Amino acid sequence: MTSTPQPTLVPFIPDNAPFSDDQRAWLNGFLAGVYSSAVPAIAPEAPPTLKIAVLYASQSGTAEGIARKLAKELKAKGHVASLLSLEGYTPAALAAERYAILIASTYGEGDAPDAVQPFYEQLCLEHFPRYENLSYAVLALGDSNYEHFCKFGVDLDNKLTALGATRIADRVDCDIDLDLPLATWKSTLFGKLNEIVAPRASRPASTPIATSLPIAARANTSAPLHNRENPFLAPLVDKRPLTLDVSSKLTLHMAFSIQDSAIHYEAGDACGVIPQNDPRLVEEILHKLNFSGSAPVQLLKVGATTLHDALLNHLQITRLTRKMIEAYATIGQCHTLFGLLIPEQQSHLDAYTSDRGLIDLLLDYPGVLHDPADLVAMLPKLTPRLYSISSSPVAHAGEIHTTVAVVRYRSHNRERGGVCSTLFADRTPTGQSLPIYIQPNKKFRLPKQSDAPIIMIGPGTGIAPFRSFLHERRALAATGRNWLFFGERSATTDFLYRDELESMVTDQHLTRLDLAFSRDQEHKVYVQDKMLEKASHFWKWLQEGASIYVCGDAARMAKDVDATLHRIVEQQGHLDPAAASEYVNSLKEQHRYHRDVY
């Protein structure tokens, strides 16, 4: 009598074992590797798997969310997928991988997210093609409103190819409306992975497929309760101006109740708000096109709805993009607009789109749209807006505060407003609710040691997370010294949270407060001027282990503050520019230089 050979059971780690997803994936991969090479009798029909590193470069969580979901999908397909952040990751670790999928967002001047810059700088120093064993795919995330669209993803992709790695699938560059390109990229990627796996299916199962060693890196696996797909309807319980009526700008303090929710956040996190367009602008657009608001339309993800709902709640109508102009020109066979789209005319196109919206296009080039479906198809999705939270979960239990600069400007004979900030200012009375969610910002946290000194640089609405930090530290009786650099236009009209800050100075919770009111004298004075004035103290605090935090305008302030920090380090540390850069990089590596800029 012949006995049927029994398949050897590989002791995989069960789902309820006390490990994170990544640890479990690693252990399962490890055990699969050990057993596949040690025991010959794995059932031949066992599905072949690949060991794939899913790596993300993310600042506000989109790339991380996509990577997390992708890792789950790969696991469901039988692969051994590990989820890793590129923060703290090394090129050597990447070179040890066999398969890697990279989801990369772009910031700054087409750069990697701040925390990922050390990884990319190291990768750029590599010149030898030691990535020949690596097969990879890149998904680039960006926003075509920025000059350097998806540039970090593009650079990363090109660099990996130059270093000898092989693409599994072509890179896709996703704009803010990323559902469709993401779905297309994923379907190509899964097809290519199937092609890789297919020939292996016929190999003896003892052939090790997962060849690379696991590399530990930071990855957070906790999923938020409410997110942009499932926001919480939070009642607005307080709204007050922080600037005086006579000020040249309006900045608001907003407080939402989260009493009836299971929302949790930490000091440093941001609050996402799902905005709504101005109903008057929606009416004007419908009227101009002679479309009925009740016309039925189909939206991706949303499904069937009315044109009015689509324009009010789901589509971007206040800004113009190249893609919108292309679609509009094609529908209308509009030669003037085609002329604007040729590469040599880019600066004219930029000038046309920079301060106009859909209504201007409809007025300037009328008679093009006759079908609501064409209008809906050419408009990008209305995206959530983020606001750094200015409350502390400990000091302001049950509430989330935000500090909002209201965007208003006039162009082409029209008063215009930012969608979300005017929703706050003009269309949301207290008592009304808005859909919100928490956007965790794990890179912007108070130091773990409560006695560590902190230096906060936050002009304008950049004050928001620092109000949170200060209240949090006070509520927790943290003994670390606190130094704030704050700047605004004028002391009399724009000194945000003046009373709170001054009383914190009085009771010495705020060890130092340096103020830069830019328009109170003939020449501009900015926070970085105050940093320079206090350079020797600044340097002393750094030597004493202070962490630096910068929040606010990314376009000018954050760059100038960074340059000033280098200058102070050069001057006070008697270092040449290269050594000063090394010093600043070492602050980043020690998680002592954090930026939350927009």
Ligand X SMILES: Cc1cc2nc3c(=O)[nH]c(=O)nc-3n(C[C@H](O)[C@H](O)[C@H](O)COP(=O)(O)O)c2cc1C
Return the number of the residue (106 or 251) whose C-beta is nearest ligand NAP: 251
* Contact residues for ligand X, defined by CB under 6 A: 58-64, 105-107, 110, 113, 141-143, 146, 148-151, 554, 597-598
Integer angstrom CA distances of residue 284 from 74, 365, 381, 529: 47, 16, 19, 46
CA torsion, points 152, 155, 161, 166, in degrees to nearest 10?
Answer: 20
Q: How far is the CB of 279 from ligand FAD (least distance, A)?
A: 15
Residues in the chain: 598
The reply on whether position 457 binds ligand FAD by CB under 6 A is no
48 φ, ψ (degrees, to nearest 5): -70, 145
Single residue of 70, 334, 419, 504 touching ligand FAD by CB under 6 A: 419
Q: How far is the CB of 407 from ligand FAD (least distance, A)?
A: 4
Single residue of 98, 159, 200, 249 touching ligand NAP by CB under 6 A: 249
**481: its two tokens:** 């010294």
Tokens 């927009």, residue located: 598
Of 82-90, 393-401, 419-427, 528-536, which part binds ligand FAD (CB under 6 A)? 419-427
CA angle 330, 358, 369 (to 5 degrees): 45
Return the number of the residue (95 or 112) whose C-beta is nearest ligand FAD: 112
Single residue of 176, 215, 237, 407 touching ligand NAP by CB under 6 A: 407
The reply on whether position 404 binds ligand FAD by CB under 6 A is yes
The reply on whether position 309 binds ligand FAD by CB under 6 A is no
Q: How far is the CB of 480 from ligand X (least distance, A)?
A: 28
Return the number of the residue (157 or 399) whose C-beta is nearest ligand X: 157
Q: How far is the CB of 178 from ligand X (least distance, A)?
A: 7
Is residue 51 helix, strand or coil? Answer: strand
Q: Which DSSP letter does residue 363 get?
A: H
- The β-bridge partners of 255 are 238, 401
Nearest residue to ligand X, using CB? 142
Q: Which DSSP letter does residue 146 get?
A: S
Per-residue binding letters, 505-534, with ligand NAP (x by CB under 6 A): -------------xx----x-xxx------
| Residues in 417-476 that interact with ligand NAP by CB under 6 A | 459-462
The reply on whether position 318 binds ligand FAD by CB under 6 A is yes
Per-residue binding letters, 202-241, with ligand FAD (x by CB under 6 A): ----------------------------------------
Of 329-337, 368-376, 379-387, 488-496, which part binds ligand FAD (CB under 6 A)? 379-387
The reply on whether position 456 binds ligand FAD by CB under 6 A is no
Return the number of the residue (61 or 332) whose C-beta is nearest ligand FAD: 61
Q: How far is the CB of 350 from ligand FAD (least distance, A)?
A: 11
Single residue of 409, 450, 479, 579 touching ligand FAD by CB under 6 A: 409
HEC assignment per residue over 223-270: CCCCECCECEEEEEEEEEECCCCCCCCCEEEEEEECCCCCCCCCCCCE
The reply on whether position 353 binds ligand FAD by CB under 6 A is no
Given its phi and psi angles, is residue 550 left (phi above 0), alpha (psi -120 to 50 degrees) or beta?
Answer: beta
Give CA–CA dist 34/280, Å, rounded: 66
Tokens 């130092």, residue located: 512
Q: How far is the CB of 407 from ligand NAP (least distance, A)?
A: 5
Return the number of the residue (488 or 596) whose C-beta is nearest ligand NAP: 488
Q: Which DSSP letter does residue 116 get?
A: G
One-letter amino acid of 448: K
The reply on whether position 385 binds ligand FAD by CB under 6 A is yes
**569: its two tokens:** 């380090």
The reply on whether position 487 binds ligand NAP by CB under 6 A is yes
330 φ, ψ (degrees, to nearest 5): -70, -45
Crossing angle, helix 464-475 and helix 498-506, to 10 degrees? 40
Q: How far is the CB of 145 from ligand X (least distance, A)?
A: 8
Of 188-196, 390-398, 441-449, 555-563, which part binds ligand NAP (CB under 6 A)? 555-563
Tally of CB atoms within 10 A around 223: 8
Nearest residue to ligand FAD, using CB? 418
Tokens 């602008």, residue located: 281
550, 548, 556: which is closest to 583 by C-alpha? 548
Nearest residue to ligand NAP, using CB? 460
**199: its two tokens:** 């020939």
What is the gyration radius of the CA atoms in the chain, in angstroms? 27
The residues near 381 (Cβ < 8 Å, ≥ 6 apart) are: 176, 177, 179, 314, 315, 316
The reply on whether position 403 binds ligand FAD by CB under 6 A is yes
Is residue 153 helix, strand or coil? Answer: helix
Note the residues at the interface with ligand FAD (CB under 6 A): 60, 270, 275, 318-319, 355, 385-388, 403-405, 407, 409, 411, 418-421, 461, 464, 596, 598
Note the residues at the interface with ligand NAP (CB under 6 A): 249, 251, 405, 407-409, 459-462, 487-489, 518-519, 524, 526-528, 552-553, 556-557, 560
